[in-house]
Structure formats: C-alpha cells, structure tokens
Structure 1
Amino acid sequence: MRNTAYEDRGTGAPLLLVHGHPFNRTMWHPQTEHLAAAGHRVIVPDLRGYGDTPPAGDHTTLDVFAHDLAALLDRLGVARCAVGGLSMGAQIALEFYRLFPERVTALVLAAGSPRADSAPARRVRRTTADRLLREGMTAYADETLPKMVCRDTLQTRPDVNRHVLAMMDTTDPAGAAAALRGRAERPDYLTLLPRITVPTLIVVGRHDEFTPVAEAELMHRHIPGSRLEIIESAGHLPNLEQESAFNAALAGFLTEHSPLARSGGSPG
C-alpha cells in the first residue's frame, strides 16, 4: 500500500513494530522514544484501516498487511530488520516471517497467539465487524478497555486508560471490520514455530485475558532458543501498562541480538 503512514526514528539496526487491533502506531510511543534514544532505528507504521492509513476493501487478511509492510520497507530502503508485533501485530509478524524469512533478523512476539480461530471465534469476529460498521467504535471501546488492561492499570494509570480509549475510539470502523474479517481466516502458525531460526523474544502480561500466559509458553516451547518474558502487573498491553519493564526486556534483547553483537564487532 503506497500511502501507509509511519514514523521512522533513530539510527542503527532497524526494528519494525506492528500495532494491534484496534490501535495505531502511537501504541508504540514509549518504545519509539526509548529505543531511538538508545541507538536503535524504530519504524512504526499505521496498518491499512488504522490511524492515518486509510482502509482499502472490506476484508484484510494477514498476508495483505505483511505485503504492505514489505512495500514500506522497500520504500525506506530496508532490506532486513527485526520485526515485532503485539496481539494482531504479533500474528502479522509471524505472517511476515512466513512470507519473507530472509528479511527478518529477529522476532518480537508480544501478547500473541499462534492458533487459528475456532469456528465460534470466527463467528464472533464477523459479528463484531458488522456491529462496528453499524454502531461505530465508542461502545466497543468502553466495553473492551477492562479486558485490554489489568485491574491495577484501570485503577492507577488514567494516562494509559485515556490513551487506549482514544486509539480505539478514533479507529475507522471500516478498517477495524475489514481486519476482523481477515483475522477470522488466519492460518494456524503452530507448524511454523519450530521452523523459526532467528532470535525470538516472547512477551506477555501476567494478567492478559485475551492471550494468556499459557499461549506465550506454548510459543516458547515450540520456537527453538526463544526467550520468554512475563511482565507483572500488566494485561494485554504490557508495553503501555509497564513500559519500563517492557522497554528493558526489548532493549536488552535487541542489543544482545543486534548484527554488531552477533558479529563480535565494536563501534567504529
């Protein structure tokens, strides 16, 4: 997609961060600021139908998102990079690796599940897509917030709650509905996991209701050499709810597995 909106901050080995549903690239603001200041190049796009990128069609499958991201990297002259995502973004990261393994130097899978939807789950996604087109995002956002973040966040982090609600409430219903329909048809990635050969960080909030710790542990068991980080006092959005802990885990992983670190070199 030629008109993908994005932010490109910092220098160094590039990292592409893919937001979840129904959010936008500002979801990664704490990581963009921290990692760019620490010497990383961070590329954060708005997926089609989210943020400042317009929707296109009424049905967006994960491979379409992955091809959009590949086209953006081509525009930026980035041949290879680390790819990270949260929730739907983690599934898109897996799809990107499936399609373009030669372009991925490392994976970061946060609050994700590798499983395909069950038949009931597919029906719920399609019903929700119809509802969003009919009613808009506001009621959905209000209902979903208590599941997106943990109880501690709801009670003590009004800044995070406002940010999450604003992202959900301002998402284009057409884009969100198209993505829900596409996710209902996503493949099962369990058979892909053992074939992942790049360094992989798996992150999950201790109190995640959508993708519980068990899903992260499943990925950890199946991806050779992967690292699992469980973020305490966090739900489905650990990068916002506990940004310091998330940033530390991510920055440490990237530093350890940067091309320079793997080559044993030193700054020039």
Structure 2
Amino acid sequence: MAALPAIVLVHGIRTSGTMWRRQVQDLQAAGFVVDAPDLPGHGTRIGEEFTIDAAMAAIDDAVSRHKGPVLLVGLSLGGYLSIHYAGQKPGRVTGLVAASCQTLPRGVGLWGYRALARGIHRLPDRGAWLNDAMARRFLPAEGVADMAAGGVALEVMDSALTAVGTLDPLDGLRRYPGPVWFVMGGLDHFRLSQRAFLRARPDASVVVVPRATHLVSLVKPDEFTRAVTDAARALTVDSPQISENGTGTGIVTP
C-alpha cells in the first residue's frame, strides 16, 4: 500500500488556518499528517500585503515541508489559489480538492462582491459586527469559534478579491494532470460556473454535501472531512506519479 499523503489545507478569505481545526483534529486522528498555513494578510500574518505571489509562496512552503505525496485542499479563496498552484507546479501536488470555488472570479459578480466589500469596510468597525453576526446566524457554534480563533482579516477583502480576479482557474485545471475532486455545499452560491469547471476537468469527482452552504467545512464538518479522507485514501490506491513538468509517468498500485 502506498504511503498516506500529507494534507495541506488552504483557508478562505478573511479567515485563517484555524477554520480547519475540526478537520485537522479528525484527519490527524485518522493517521494523516496535516498542514493548515495562514495566507498573507490573514491569521498570524494579518497586516501583510496580499498578493498572488505571496500566497503561492505560502502554499509552496507548506507543500515543501512534506517529502512524500501531498493532497492539496482549498476552500473558496483557498480553492482558487490551490487550483492556480497545482497548475503552476503540478509535480508538487499528488491530488487536488477544490471546494466552494465553482464560480469564475471575473465580470459583474466579482465587481459586485468587491463593491460590497468596500461598502462594508467603510462601516465604523470595518464590518466586524456584521461579520460576527453573519457567522453566528449561519454557522454552528463550533464553526464560529474555529473561524474566529485566528482573527478576522477585515482589511484584506478588496486586495484579495482584486488579486483573485487575475487568475484563470479553468486554465489551472487543464494544466494540472493529477486527480481532482470538486466539493461543494448543495446550497452554495459559488456554483454558477460549475459546468465550465466540469468541462475543464470532465474526469473530476464531484461531491455535493446536502443542505450545506458556502463554508461547507464549517457547516458540515464531518461530511467535508469524509470527502477529504476519501480523496486522500484514493491516492494510496492509484496515485499518478507526476513529474515537475506535469507529465504523468504511470500509476502506483498497492
């Protein structure tokens, strides 16, 4: 049997690596090595400038800490960044889970999201009360605590959204030759381009978690952890060996 992959978890916008506390706990209990880095401008790195290059460096640092196979898991902002990283450095990633990021980050939708973020940022508390109220309304208590534990990056919204708008996730998916899983909540509003993502990777596995919203890992933590565990264990059965230039070199079997 091939070695279990290390799992690198990339968080969403405004949150931090602590949003993965439940997944880290449960995956480690199942025998996986897990890494949940903070992106620039978030968590322990609040105050730093967010750029795509800095985000890629943060992911690369986490991936590079592990010498064997790596399953890269990203949600929302982290999903777009993980797709971009896997497309740029396919030889570093054995499998990719892209969660809650099946809307193309461009056009009217992105413009509206940025306008909303700028409006919220002009509130006296930079939107802290609204963020906390929405979290309490839509997340279970454990999810609220996990999201808040690393702090809320109120200043990073516009710069992160602007940066993500420069990415082409469909190109990243086409460039990455390894196995891909799309995970999303059944009630997620970030599914508008799901067909385009599937056209880019028709071989991808799709996991839809019923009654889960955008922050599926916090709303339905057990179901999300199960999806990641299933993906990771699938890599131990038939993991494609991918060279640094993205060329598959065969299948590893037990």
State TM-score, norm by structure 1: 0.77
Correspondence 1:47-126 to 2 at 5 A: 47-57=39-49, 60-74=50-64, 76=65, 78=67, 81-113=70-102, 115-119=104-108, 121-122=110-111, 124-125=113-114
Which residue does 2:8 correspond to in 1? 16
Identity fraction in percent: 22
| Cα distance in 1, alignment partners of residues 40 and 237 from structure 2 | 30
| Cα distance in 1, alignment partners of residues 157 and 109 from structure 2 | 19
Correspondence 1:188-267 to 2 at 5 A: 188-209=168-189, 211-212=190-191, 214-258=192-236, 263-265=252-254
SS of residue in 2 equivalent to 1:34: helix
Which residue does 1:179 correspond to in 2? 160
Unaligned ranges ≥5, structure 1: 1-10
Q: Deviations over 1:149-200 (max 9, x none)?
A: 4xxx5xxx34334544x369x32333444323323x3223223333331111
Match of 1:160 among 134, 140, 143: 143
| Cα distance in 2, alignment partners of residues 146 and 240 from structure 1 | 12
Matched residues, number: 240
Structure 2 CA distance for partners of 1:121 and 1:177, relative to 1, 3 Å: closer
Q: Deviations over 1:187-241 (max 9, x none)?
A: 23223333331111110100112x03x5344423321421000001110111121
**Post-superposition shift, 1:93?**
0.3
| Cα distance in 2, alignment partners of residues 172 and 25 from structure 1 | 12
Match of 2:35 among 20, 23, 43: 43
| Cα distance in 1, alignment partners of residues 172 and 58 from structure 2 | 21
**Post-superposition shift, 1:127?**
6.0
Aligned-partner residue type, residue 245 of structure 1: E
Aligned-partner residue type, residue 17 of structure 1: L
**Post-superposition shift, 1:114?**
5.4
Structure 2 CA distance for partners of 1:120 and 1:232, relative to 1, 3 Å: closer
Structure 2 CA distance for partners of 1:67 and 1:256, relative to 1, 3 Å: same
Aligned-partner residue type, residue 126 of structure 2: G
| Cα distance in 2, alignment partners of residues 193 and 230 from structure 1 | 19
| Cα distance in 1, alignment partners of residues 174 and 38 from structure 2 | 29
| Cα distance in 2, alignment partners of residues 222 and 120 from structure 1 | 21
Aligned-partner residue type, residue 159 of structure 1: E
Structure 2 CA distance for partners of 1:190 and 1:72, relative to 1, 3 Å: closer
- 1:130–1:177 CA contact under 8 A, matched in 2: no
Unaligned ranges ≥5, structure 2: 240-250
Structure with bigger RCO (C-alpha 8 Å, 6+ apart): 2
